[in-house]
Amino acid sequence: MAAGKVYLVGAGPGDPGLLTLRARRLLAAADAVVFDRLLSPRLLGFVSSRAVCYYAGKAPGAHEMEQEDIHALLISLARAGKTVVRLKGGDPFVFGRGGEEALALTAAGVAWEVVPGVTSAVAVPAYAGIPVTHRDISPAFTVVTGHACSQAGGVDWEGLARTGGTIVVMMGMAHLGEIAARLVAAGRPPGTPVAVIRWGTRAAQEVLRAELGTVAAEVAKRRLRSPAVVVIGEVARLGEVLAWAQARPLFGRRVLVVGDVADEAADAADVLEALGAEVYDWTLAGCSHPLSVSPLWAAMEIVSPSGAAPGFAAEPPAPGVIAMAVAKGERVLWWPSPLAVDLWFAAWREAGRDVRQLAGWRLAAAEPRVAVRLSSYGIVADDVAPHPPAGAVWVPLAVAKPDMVRLLAWWQAQAEGVGDARPARPPFARAGGGCSFDAVWVLSDAAWMVLTGTAAAAGHRLTAVRLLARDAWVVNRLRAAGADAQWAPDADAVAARLTEPEEPQAWPSEVAMGT
């Protein structure tokens, strides 16, 4: 068995756009991913469906896995020949215990590499408009942990106070009062500007501006808790002038994109993120398991001159079953979604078929976006028709996997830390949870119905201020199902809709699901 390898990978501070290119490539190639708390779930979308993900998050006072258990897991996976990504918030070697993990791997004789990430110590202040250095204000900065403020051999706060420059405190919320008092006692003026940035780079980002002498009282008054980065020094004043992130039109908004296929949803999510939104994407492709190729091969035989259509239903399949329609008499293949196109042609290739065998058949798409998907396979759709021909039979291609919806609920609960692996028991496998969004942008009504249906089965509830759809026909279908959907053809329209007052809607509900 070939030896495995562990990559200690920095995921950045929370905004998925700050992930490095090398980190993304490694996630796609990994056999196993051991990931931390405070990461964007979009990062797991870069992981191959064949990989297993293990949650190793740590919240204050609640550790899903102890550090020694994480070491043992990494070593075990590598010795089993796996390519392992240890995905850590920020940078692995900046208060991320990456050094401890590297030493454990070295002692065990396991090969490893480190992939630096964008550290929260610099990125979080930057998202609050605070440069940690400035030629005229602060020529240096010091990054320290406040986690062990009172421990012997910890930070020399008195010496740090005399050093000058900017002080960036990580994990210091529990001891902020003591830290401030020791800095003031050592000579830092009580009027020194301080910025406390909670959930930096995320939709929930909030900034408290205070002075060193009063910051602890202000934090208590606002009831701010971790995760937060504290910036102490004159540069903290610049955030009032340079607050660029808050100026983006969708800053602070949480948007869920629901679609059929990953690239379509990712493209939509990227545009929304550029406008400042924190985006989550859910796709049928990400939770679908292709069926045995046997029924597909049988369907392919329909295409042959002597083929028949044994065992296929004339009625459309239930939600959660991805299918396509075949009309033998009229010689038409009809695809209802981009995912159906992908699944069909994946099986077609696996069966060793040649696209020229489709000569003489009309290839039809239910919607223009399905026709676009066909074009990616070098095929120009003969027709765009909303319904299959009369007499067509339905060929099942895949079924959706309900448990994946729990990953969204885990994000909302933020590391309550239930669960240890995907797909067996994804994080936050507890029923009765929920997700809250400012908007849900639906690219596929079929995907939306599956999502709400699987949420109901898992005991979860989705709440959003706006239910939006990119295409007019999707709006009509959602409204026909009783949902109060609105048309938003692009990201700018999403932003415009979110400025309008509206009461939140919740799903699943009987009307929203059309049951």
Residues with a catalytic annotation lie at: 36, 58, 171
CB contact at 8 A, 36 and 88: yes
Q: What mean pLDDT do residues 203-226 have?
A: 93
Q: Where are the beta strands (DSSP E) in 370-507?
A: 383-384, 393-400, 434-442, 461-469, 485-487, 505-507
- Overall pTM > 0.75: yes
Phi then psi for residue 491, to 5 deg, are -65, -35
Contacts of 304 (CB under 8 A, 6+ apart): 357
Which residue in 309, 311, 308, 341 sits closest to 323, CA to CA?
341
Interval 385-429: pLDDT, tens: 988 988 888 888 888 764 443 454 344 433 332 233 333 233 333
CB contact at 8 A, 148 and 172: no
- Of all residues in the chain, what percent carry a pLDDT higher than 90? 46
Q: What mean pLDDT do residues 53-57 have?
A: 81
| pLDDT for res 331 | 86
* Chain mean pLDDT for the chain: 82
Contacts of 407 (CB under 8 A, 6+ apart): 41, 44, 422, 426, 427, 428
Contacts of 355 (CB under 8 A, 6+ apart): 348, 377, 378, 379
Interval 313-351: pLDDT, tens: 667 777 778 888 888 778 899 999 999 999 888 888 877
| pLDDT for res 299 | 58
Burial level of 248, CB count in 10 A (0-12/13-18/19+)? Answer: middle
| pLDDT for res 70 | 95
Alpha-carbon torsion 339, 342, 345, 347, what sign?
Answer: negative
Own/partner pairs, 16-25, CB within 8 angstroms, 24+ separation: 16/40, 16/42, 16/43, 16/273, 17/273, 18/117, 18/118, 18/123, 18/201, 19/43, 19/46, 19/117, 20/115, 20/116, 20/117, 20/118, 22/115, 23/87, 23/115, 23/117
Q: What mean pLDDT do residues 297-316 have?
A: 57
How are beta strands 362-365 and 383-384 bridged, if at all? parallel
Which residue in 142, 145, 165 sits closest to 153, CA to CA?
145
Confidence of residue 430 (pLDDT cuts 50, 70, 90): very low
Q: What mean pLDDT do residues 146-162 have?
A: 76
